[in-house]
Chains A and B, each alone.
Chain A
């Protein structure tokens, strides 16, 4: 058991904290004068709560715990909308129920980023489809591109269905 724990632990350590330097990321031109001036991902991201995927950062946790303090607006007159309301979805499906937390989303986004062109602001009024999401529509506009990727099934499908065992491979 201890050996297993050690292996799992070392795996987590290895997964955390490997960011390519900009000059090796296959996007930046190593000859660009920007190299050496732009901030390197490792310098910024290694200080934030670690994740196993995406930018290897728990972005919501980083914001909630004050590791980062991203500005909410540029124009002083902009109204900041926060909503603390969970929506349960996929109530009749076979996979665990989806808990959609408005709070974590409105910490970053405005209502108008999703409503109503992606989702009607009405519980039960939207037909969601994993095929659509995997093609970059609906939740997939962000999840799979900038927010945690679609391999993390259980972060959304997070509420066990009564009478059905919880799936085993559960990233936190």
Chain B
């Protein structure tokens, strides 16, 4: 009986809405190279970008694959106008000289997608 109840509580706690998820849903940490090269990890916020651009702009026109870690983006590419650099060029959005605006994450964060309110996104199961 006790075991049954524990399972129920566990399942309920997983399913309860409104648990405090600190990161915003869809936030991405990019830290394949940042910290090794002495910078903070990059925090990419889907919520901020989708207010301004439809998904297809980055995931079709700019060629970002829809899987965290599958895009090998280097600063040289960005400076040359590829990937983020298509907009982050000082014209549409701030340019690559504003390092700290993107490299704004806590040190030690692994690359991944964060902020799941309930399901925590792909990879949890």
A associates with B:
yes
B67 within 8 A of A: yes
Of residues 130 through 163 on chain A, the ones whose CB sits less than 8 Å from some CB of chain B are 134-137, 140-142, 144-146, 149-151
Measured CA separation A44–B116 after assembly (Å): 19
A-B pairs with the 9 shortest C-beta distances? Answer: A136-B122, A34-B104, A146-B26, A110-B56, A32-B104, A145-B121, A26-B22, A110-B60, A151-B118
Residues in B with CB closer than 8 Å to A33 are 100-101, 104
Total interface residues on B, using CB and 8 Å?
52
Indicate with 1 or 0, residue by residue over B105-125, a CB within 8 angstroms of chain A CB atoms.
111010001101111111101
B8 within 8 A of A: no
Q: Are B17 and A55 closer than 8 Å at their CB atoms?
A: no
Residues in A with CB closer than 8 Å to B24 are 19-20, 25, 41, 55
Q: B106's contact among A14, A29, A149, by CB below 8 Å, is which?
A: A29
A125 within 8 A of B: no
Residues in B with CB closer than 8 Å to A140 are 122
Residue ranges of A at the interface with B (Cβ–Cβ < 8 Å): 14-15, 19-20, 24-29, 32-35, 37-39, 41, 44-45, 52-55, 57, 59, 68, 70-75, 78, 107-110, 112-113, 134-137, 140-142, 144-146, 149-151
Kindly provide the distance from the CB of B47 to the nearest chain A CB, expressed in whole angstroms: 5
Q: A54's contact among B25, B55, B67, B100, by CB below 8 Å, is which?
A: B25
Q: Nearest residue in A to B15 (C-beta to C-beta)?
A: A151
